[in-house]
Amino acid sequence: MRGKNIIIGICGGIAAYKIPQLVRLLKKRGANVRVALTDGGTRFVSELALATVSGEPVYRKIFPPMDTENMDYTRHITLGEWADALVIAPATANTLAKLTAGLCDDMLSVIFITLRPAKPVLIFPAMDGQMFLSPSVQRNIATLAAQGCTIINPESGELASGLCGLGRMPEPEAILASLEEVLHTTENISPLSGKSVVVTAGPTREKIDGVRFISNYSSGKMGFAVARAAAKRGALVTLITGPVHLDTPPGVKRIDVESAAEMHDAAQKFFRSCSIFIGAAAVADYRPAAPCEGKIKKDAQEMELSLVRNPDILAEFSLQKSSGQLAIGFALEMESDIDNARKKLETKKLDLIAFNFFDHKTAGFEVDTNILTLIENQGTTTELPQLTKESAAERLLDAIEQRCTRT
Ligand SMILES: Cc1cc2nc3c(=O)[nH]c(=O)nc-3n(C[C@H](O)[C@H](O)[C@H](O)COP(=O)(O)O)c2cc1C
């Protein structure tokens, strides 16, 4: 922690009383600590105590008083630049909602927005268990996690309400340990840093006529998680995506396409220049042979739709890639049949395939979790447990990183 600039954001939760102790622990480790306190936070911990233990003024209001000499009028921006990491503990339901919405009405919310994308943000939600499990809090947490924040869930134990259950903020020692771990991970330069990575994601739409199409249930969540994780490791990521309802991960260049043919054309432009091609899109295998411009009338009792094969984008890349390039694919299988995935790995000459077991509730399309088995062409097979798509993406990238260091 020596020399690290850490901002601690404190919100109006009862656990705020523990934060002066966290500040002391960080200072003992040699970190420079500044505190941003919300209005709610002032009700639970004193500004004077925090200023004393941090040795710095406590930051609360965006608008500085006009009567102070040598006032830094742009500190709402400079604080975000100064910080190496932001820790928000305790994070209230209210502040989680503000951060998710992008509101900027106090110093903490402004610092959150002005922090550079690559800098770690650790959020420790702490609140009554019912509040924590409410759909709005869970939705906001998922959004912040999707933006790259590290969310450390509260623990179970005695709560201020007198109840016992989920909602307790971890102790200052545990918060420090989480921060050290996150800083350690981000500082270890990834072998993906500076590499050009192309990720395809989402479904494709294959036009039947002017108003209808063939598609599938892919939400794009897995591909977006992979793109986000690669960008976090310093890769130069291009994300080619079919129609999805997802925000572009920070630092990622996004290309929107609709059909398999459009995805193929967009991807082909990167075949020579990219280092790693990750095909996470659910590209339609077939498209209508002769799509109509207008709307097909429902005159006939029956109709036949003639389909033709779409290009296999990943296989095309893989079969022409040079020795330094890696081709990574996903294989979604309805049954727990890993042999089909192995066959795809071999016939498409991929370097690694993520066998993706399909289950309506826990894995595959639309859901937020996935169960992957990573099969490498060099023989290693790694079965992952059920993970969030974010965590599964991190594990996939760990495996790709290992490949990069071996080749
Ligand atoms: C005694 C008391 C304890 C509270 N504890 C929490 C808490 O642990 N977590 C939480 O999310 N809100 C808690 N609240 C509600 C917040 O203080 C309130 O939503 C406030 O607006 C938060 O403001 P802030 O997010 O700007 O700090 C508590 C309120 C009171 C009166």
Kindly report, residue by residue over 175-224, the tens digit of the pLDDT.
999 999 898 877 767 889 889 999 999 999 999 999 999 999 999 999 99
Residue among 228, 258, 226 at smallest CA distance from 241: 258
DSSP 85-136: EEEEEEEPHHHHHHHHHT--SSHHHHHHHHS-TTS-EEEEE-S-HHHHHSHH
Is 216 among the residues known to form the active site?
Answer: yes
pLDDT the model gives residue 250 = 83
Which among 146, 256, 250, 270 is positioned nearest to 198, based on CA atoms? 270
By most ligand atoms within 8 Å of CB, the mutation choice from 37, 94, 159 for ligand 1 is 94
Question: pLDDT by residue (tens digit) across 212-264?
Answer: 999 999 999 999 999 999 998 889 999 999 999 999 998 899 999 999 999 99
Distance CA 86, CA 147 (A): 14
In the reported structure, the alpha carbon of residue 92 is separated from the centroid of ligand 1 by a whole-number distance in angstroms of: 6
> Rounded to an integer, what is the distance from CA 126 to the centroid of its chain?
21
Residue 179 makes CB contacts below 8 A (sequence gap 6+) with: 1, 6, 26, 85, 87, 120, 122
Report residues whose beta carbon is within 6 angstroms of any ligand 1 atom: 11-14, 38-41, 90, 92-95, 126-127, 131
Q: How far is CA 208 from CA 7, 97, 183, 199, 359, in A?
A: 54, 42, 51, 27, 29
DSSP-assigned letter for residue 3 = T
Counting from 1 in the atom list of ligand 1, the atom nearest the Cα of 95 is 25
Q: Residue 68: its pLDDT value, please?
A: 65
Enter the tokens of residue 240.
């080619």
Q: What is the pLDDT of residue 369?
A: 85
Q: Which of 216, 356, 370, 377 is catalytic?
A: 216
CA pair distance 108, 4, nearest whole angstrom? 19
Please check whether residue 36 is in contact with residue 76, taking contact to mean a CB–CB distance below 8 angstroms. Answer: no
Mutate which of 8, 10, 14 for ligand 1 pocket (most atoms within 8 A of beta carbon): 14
Distance 304 CA to ligand 1 centre (A): 61
Dihedral sign for Cα 75, 80, 84, 89, please. Answer: positive
Of ligand 1's listed atoms, the one at least distance from the Cα of 40 is 27
CA-proximal residue: ligand 1, atom 23 (nearest): 40
Domains and CATH numbers, the chain: 5-187 (3.40.50.1950), 196-292+304-406 (3.40.50.10300)
Closest CA to 126 of 249, 274, 5, 11: 11
Of residues 261, 258, 265, 244, the one with CA closest to residue 213:
258
Q: Give me the residue label for tokens 């209001």.
A: 61
In contact, 155 and 170? CB cutoff 8 Å? yes
Ligand 1 pocket: which of 92, 124, 159 to mutate (most atoms within 8 A of CB): 92
**What distance in Å separates the CA atoms of residue 201 and residue 223, rounded to the nearest whole number?**
5
Cβ neighbours of 337 (radius 10 Å): 12
Question: How far apart are the two ends of the chain, measured CA to CA in Å?
Answer: 33
Helix ranges (DSSP H) in 115-220: 129-133, 135-146, 172-187
Overall pTM surpassing 0.75 (yes/no): no
Q: Please give the pLDDT value at position 77.
A: 82
Q: Is 263 in contact with 313 (CB distance < 8 Å)?
A: yes
The closest residue, in CA terms, to atom 29 on ligand 1 is 13
Give just the sign of the alpha carbon dihedral 163, 169, 172, 177.
positive
CA 111 to ligand 1 centroid distance, Å: 20
Residue 365's nearest CA partner among 390, 341, 334 is: 334
Q: How far is the CA of 142 from the centre of ligand 1 (A)?
A: 20
Which residues are 196's β-sheet partners?
A: 236
Task: Answer yes or no: are the C-beta atoms of 378 and 400 closer than 8 Å.
Answer: no
Ligand 1 centroid – CA 5 distance (Å): 27
Contact criterion met (CB below 8 Å) for 225 and 389: yes
Query: How far apart (Å, rounded) are the C-alpha atoms in residues 170 and 90?
Result: 9
Taking only the tens of pLDDT, the chain with its 407 residues reads: 888 899 999 999 999 999 999 999 999 999 999 999 999 999 999 999 999 999 999 999 988 777 666 667 777 888 888 898 999 999 999 999 999 999 999 999 999 999 866 689 999 999 999 999 999 999 999 999 988 899 999 999 887 777 788 899 999 999 999 999 898 877 767 889 889 999 999 999 999 999 999 999 999 999 999 999 999 888 999 999 999 999 999 889 999 999 999 999 999 999 999 999 999 999 999 999 999 999 999 888 998 999 999 999 999 999 999 989 999 999 988 766 788 899 999 999 999 999 987 776 666 676 788 889 999 998 899 999 889 899 999 999 999 999 887 66
